[in-house]
Structure 1
Amino acid sequence: MSILLVSRGRDVSPWIDAIQSERPDLEVRVYPDTAPKEDITFAISWNHPLGVFKEFPNLKCIASMGAGVDHILKDPELPENVVITRVTDEHLTNDMATFTTAVVLNYMRGLSAYKAAENESHWQPKPYLRQRDFTVGVMGMGVLGAEAAMQLKKLGFSVQGWAKSHKNIEAIPVYAGADELDYFLATSHVLICLLPLTPETANILNKTTFEKLPEGAYVINVARGEHLVEEDLLEMLDKGQLAGASLDVFRTEPLPKEHPFWEHPKIDVTPHIASVTNPASAAKQILQNYDRLTMGEPLINIVSRTKGY
Structure 2
Amino acid sequence: MPLTVLFSASDADWDDYKDILPNALAQVGLDAQVTRSAADPALVDYIVYAPTGGLTDFAPFTRARAVLSLWAGVEKIVGTPSLTQPLVRMSDPEGLTAGMVEWVTGHVLRHHLGIDAHRAAKPGEWVATVPPLAKDRRVCILGLGELGAACAAMLTQLNFQVSGWSRRPKELAGVACFSGADGLGTALRDADIVVLLLPQTPDTENLMNAARLNILPRGAVIVNPGRGPLIDDEALLAALDSGQISHATLDVFRVEPLPADHPFWTHPNVTVTPHIASATRAPSAARRIAKTIERDQAGAPLPGLVDRSAGY
Q: What's the TM-score, normalizing by structure 1?
A: 0.89
Is the Cα contact below 8 Å between 2:6 and 2:46 reproduced in 1?
A: yes
How has the CA–CA distance of structure 1 residues 41 and 223 changed in structure 2, closer, same or farther, with 3 Å as cutoff? same
Alignment match, 1:140: 143
1:167 aligns with 2:144: no
| Letter paired with 2:33 | E
1:7 aligns with 2:13: no
Report 1:20-169 matches (<5 A): 20-23=22-25, 26-30=32-36, 33-47=37-51, 49=54, 51-75=56-80, 77-80=81-84, 82-91=85-94, 92-117=96-121, 123-125=125-127, 127-130=129-132, 131-169=134-172
Partner SS state of residue 265, structure 2: coil
Alignment match, 1:306: 309
Q: How many residues align?
A: 303
Deviations 1:158-192 (A, max 9, x none): 11111112212112110111121111111111111
Alignment match, 2:258: 255
Deviation at 1:305, TM superposition (A): 0.9
Unaligned runs of 5+ in 1: none
Q: Aligned-pair RMSD on alpha carbons? A: 2.2
Deviation at 1:8, TM superposition (A): 4.8
How has the CA–CA distance of structure 1 residues 122 and 225 changed in structure 2, closer, same or farther, with 3 Å as cutoff? farther
Deviation at 1:10, TM superposition (A): 5.2
Is the Cα contact below 8 Å between 2:25 and 2:287 reproduced in 1?
A: no
Q: What's the TM-score, normalizing by structure 2?
A: 0.89
Partner SS state of residue 264, structure 2: coil
| Letter paired with 1:67 | A
Deviations 1:14-59 (A, max 9, x none): 12222122246632222xx332222222111122547332343333
1:239 aligns with 2:242: yes
Partner SS state of residue 108, structure 2: helix
| Letter paired with 1:180 | G
Partner SS state of residue 54, structure 1: coil
| Letter paired with 2:265 | W
Partner SS state of residue 258, structure 1: coil
Deviations 1:253-278 (A, max 9, x none): 22222222111110111111111122
Deviation at 1:219, TM superposition (A): 0.3
Instruction: Quote the Cα distance in structure 2 between the aligned partners of 1:160 and 1:305.
Output: 28
Instruction: Quote the Cα distance in structure 2 between the aligned partners of 1:300 and 1:185.
Output: 31
2:192 to 189, 192, 198: 189
How has the CA–CA distance of structure 1 residues 180 and 285 changed in structure 2, closer, same or farther, with 3 Å as cutoff? same
Unaligned runs of 5+ in 2: none
Alignment match, 2:276: 273
Partner SS state of residue 195, structure 1: coil
Instruction: Quote the Cα distance in structure 2 between the aligned partners of 1:257 and 1:147.
Output: 33
How has the CA–CA distance of structure 1 residues 295 and 262 changed in structure 2, closer, same or farther, with 3 Å as cutoff? same
Deviation at 1:122, TM superposition (A): 7.3
Partner SS state of residue 79, structure 1: coil
Is the Cα contact below 8 Å between 2:178 and 2:184 reproduced in 1?
A: yes
Alignment match, 1:199: 202
Is the Cα contact below 8 Å between 1:182 and 1:212 reproduced in 2?
A: yes
How has the CA–CA distance of structure 1 residues 9 and 181 changed in structure 2, closer, same or farther, with 3 Å as cutoff? farther
Instruction: Quote the Cα distance in structure 2 between the aligned partners of 1:264 and 1:55.
Output: 48
Partner SS state of residue 13, structure 2: coil
